[in-house]
């Protein structure tokens, strides 16, 4: 193998996570109040022009913000800062979980907390709770039928 051929298989630098950086910037602006509840976000093309990232990166970032409940989208109108941003919660940052042992530890934590929470909720539920849950399940079904997404409705169901 020549030196030139060997160079083809040199170290590959990991590219920065552009989607994550864009999500972090928007989230910080929303949390700081620089983007107010109900405020319309720039169009995808305006974000592409301002940041230099691809339209795919912008779409993925907006989907992540929507999944977090920080923005809502309206067909033909664009993306808007959520009227009631979700409360800050404990979260595990995927990039902080680097080994199989860490992933297993996270799964064990979730199994313990989520199973106990579900058991307590089931034993303490009332008829009013069941009716509210049924209403929220209907909201999830409607949101999926209308937009294909229901992160906000799913979060409301679990609350």
Check: CB of residue 53 under 8 Å from CB of residue 22: yes
59 in a domain, yes or no?
Answer: yes
For residue 30, what is the domain's CATH number?
Answer: 1.10.10.10
Which structural domain range is residue 43 located in? 12-86
Characterise 78 by phi-psi region: left (phi > 0), alpha (psi -120 to 50), beta (else): left
Of all helices (H) and strands (E), which one includes residue 126? none
Which two structure tokens, joined as six digits, stand for 135?
Answer: 């209403």
**Looking at the chain, how many residues does it have?**
159
pLDDT at 32: 86
What does the pLDDT look like over 55-108, one tens digit per residue?
999 999 999 899 888 999 988 899 999 998 777 666 676 666 778 888 888 889
81 in a domain, yes or no?
Answer: yes
Count of domains observed in the chain = 1
What does the pLDDT look like over 97-137, one tens digit per residue?
778 888 888 889 889 998 998 899 899 999 999 999 999 99
What does the pLDDT look like over 20-67, one tens digit per residue?
889 989 988 998 889 999 999 999 999 999 999 999 999 999 998 998
């Amino acid at each position: 193998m020549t030196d030139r051929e060997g160079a083809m298989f040199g170290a590959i630098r990991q590219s920065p996570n552009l989607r994550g950086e864009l999500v972090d910037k928007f989230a910080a602006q929303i949390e700081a109040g620089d983007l107010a509840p109900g405020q319309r976000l720039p169009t995808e093309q305006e974000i592409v022009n301002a940041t230099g990232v691809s339209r795919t990166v912008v779409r993925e970032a907006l989907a992540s913000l929507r999944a977090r409940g920080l923005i809502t989208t309206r067909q033909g109108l664009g993306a808007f800062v959520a009227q009631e941003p979700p409360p800050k919660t404990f979260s595990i940052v995927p990039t902080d979980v680097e080994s199989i042992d860490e992933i297993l530890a996270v799964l064990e934590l979730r199994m313990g907390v989520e199973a106990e929470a579900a058991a307590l909720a089931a034993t303490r539920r009332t008829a009013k709770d069941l009716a509210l849950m049924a209403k929220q399940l209907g909201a999830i079904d409607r949101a999926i039928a209308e937009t294909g997404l229901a992160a906000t409705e799913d979060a409301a169901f679990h609350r």
